[in-house]
Amino acid sequence: MGPYLLGLRLSGRRVLVVGGGRVAQRRVPALLEAGAEVTVVSPGVTPALDDLIAAGRVTWHARPYEVGDCDGAWLVQACTDDRAVNTAVAAEAEAKRVWCVRADDKDASAAWTPATGRVDEISVAVTAGGDPRRAAGMRDAVVGALRDGTVDARRNRTKPVGVALVGGGPGDPGLITVRGRQLLAQADVVVADRLAPRALLDELAPDVELVDAAKVPYGRALSQETISELLVDRARQGKFVVRLKGGDPFVFGRGGEEMIACAHAGIPVLVVPGITSAVAVPAAAGVPVTHRGVSQEFHVISVHVAPDDPKSTVDWPAMARSQGTLVLMMAVERLAKVADALVRDGRAPETPVMVVQDGTLPTQRAVTASLSTVADRVSAAGIRPPAIVVVGDVVRVGQEVEMVRAERLP
């Protein structure tokens, strides 16, 4: 017969754990989290358990099990690697009508410890006929679905209110944060950027209002003022609004402007940071933006206007003198002027450059060149936005990694 599942409220109740090895190490923290008063009986314990004992969170009797140890316990865990000891512990517990879990024999165990997980106020416990690995796999699937909102999060009575500015990450839908995905599943309205992970939008419920706030370069665009008005209007209607952006809302994402607009309207705003493409895209191409002995700093620069444009606020001579990595965003169509400015102000013409298009997506491709040749190479390769430009010696680190990998191939 299957077990009768029950949630034990162990706060202030004594739980006996016999054994101080790896099984006990896994189970004791969960018992403590439930508020149990844990006593461990074992000649020795693992370092992790020793830390809990030293902190006064666990009572330890440094000796073998003795008859009578089960007295006063509400639950017993027999976790030794000695079958005879576990049998004796279980027998005493049975005689005293105390539930006992045997780690070594599921069939002889009066109770099973489920694989558990918690998401907000929801606790998940799974048993799988005493098979802990299968139970853990099922637990992970359910907890994951709760965290990312695929288990009908919109029925939650405590759904957020106002506006959430959510960073969707660099493009791959798997790189949005757990919190971001959870809020997206709870949204009544989603206002999405062109660079937001579009695959996630297919998962929205049919009744979710989707507003395309794409800003296509040199094409149609929804003005920032209109976007801010949309956020405020829908939130005032009592709807929960998610503003889904590519990368991070506050890294050239104009999230600050939207937050200010909502603040003026008295709309609560929740900010969920995202993985910025300035770091993630170089990483996806195998290039670290910092590397010991190569670059101790990196600069993230928006090149929506060229270096010689009066609207530019970038100190390009300082960037040329810097020995750090330069990560250029929105730079592809002004790359020739950027390269000329950097070389003119002191960067070596042979400085390596990598340009990565569609970073983290299946269509990702990269071109490597030098400052003196990068504009022509990018043009010849047909590289188009969205793309990230990395300038600096860290590009050689990525090339070195590729060379090592190639040498190890059979």
Q: Could you tell me which residues are beta bridge partners of residue 365?
A: 357
In this prediction, residue 206 has a pLDDT band, given cuts at 50, 70 and 90, of confident
Q: What is the CATH number of the domain that holds 76?
A: 3.40.50.720
The domain that holds 169 is classified in CATH as 3.40.1010.10
Q: Which pLDDT tens digit goes with each residue over 329-351?
A: 999 999 999 999 999 999 999 99
Distance in angstroms (rounded) separating the CA atoms of residues 215 and 346: 35
SS (H, E, C) 327-358: EEECCHHHHHHHHHHHHHCCCCCCCEEEEEEC
Residue 185 counted as domain residue: yes
Rounded to whole angstroms, how far apart are CA atoms 279 and 38? 45
User: What total of structural domains would you count in the chain?
Assistant: 4
Domain range for 49 is 13-113
pLDDT tens-digit map of 121-167: 788 888 888 788 888 899 888 887 877 666 655 555 567 899 999 99
> Given pLDDT bands bounded at 50, 70 and 90, which one contains residue 5?
confident
In a domain, 244, yes or no: yes
pLDDT reported for residue 220 = 53
Give domain status of residue 410, yes or no: no
174 with 188, same domain? yes
Q: In this predicted structure, what is the pLDDT of residue 400? A: 87
Q: Are residues 254 and 351 in the same domain?
A: no
**pLDDT exceeds cutoff 80 at 410:** no
Whether residue 287 is found in the same domain as residue 365: yes
The CA distance from 312 to 331, in Å, is 13
Query: What would the pLDDT profile of 231-257 be if each residue is shown by its tens digit?
Result: 999 999 999 999 999 999 999 999 999
Residue 299's DSSP bridge partners are: 326
Percent of the chain predicted with pLDDT > 90: 72
337 part of the active site: no
Written as six digits, the tokens of 171 are 């493009």
Which of 108-122, 181-195, 259-273, 327-341 has the weakest average pLDDT? 108-122
Residue 148 is among the residues annotated as catalytic for this protein: no
Instruction: Check which CATH number belongs to the domain holding 357 and give it.
Output: 3.30.950.10
Classified as helix, coil or strand, 118 is strand
Residues 357 and 312 in one domain: yes
The confidence score (pLDDT) of residue 150 equals 67
Among the listed residues 148, 172, 188, 193, the single catalytic one is 193
Return the pLDDT at 114. Answer: 85
Catalytic residue among 215, 239, 340, 393: 215
Residues 306, 361: one domain? yes
The least confident of 143-157, 285-299, 319-333 is: 143-157
Same domain for 234 and 182, yes or no, is yes
- 346 & 254 share domain: no
So what's the pLDDT on residue 218? Answer: 47
Q: Which among 272, 296, 321 is the end of a domain? A: 272
Q: How confident is the model at residue 99, as a pLDDT?
A: 96
Last residue of a domain, one of 253, 272, 291: 272
What is the pLDDT at residue 219? 47
Given a cut of 90, whether residue 401 has pLDDT beyond it is: no
Q: Is residue 101 part of a domain?
A: yes
Residue 406 lies in a domain: no
List strand residue ranges (DSSP E) for 13-81, in order.
Answer: 14-18, 37-41, 59-61, 75-78
- In the prediction, which pLDDT does 407 show? 79
Distance of alpha carbon 391 from alpha carbon 33, whole angstroms: 49
At residue 217, does pLDDT exceed 80?
Answer: no
Residue 178 is assigned to a structural domain of this protein: yes
What is the average pLDDT score of the chain? 91
189-197 mean pLDDT:
90
- 3-state SS string for 120-184: CCEEEEECCCCCHHHHHHHHHHHHHHHHHCCCCHHHCCCCCCCEEEEECECCCHHHCCHHHHHHH
Question: What local confidence, expressed as pLDDT, does residue 153 receive?
Answer: 56
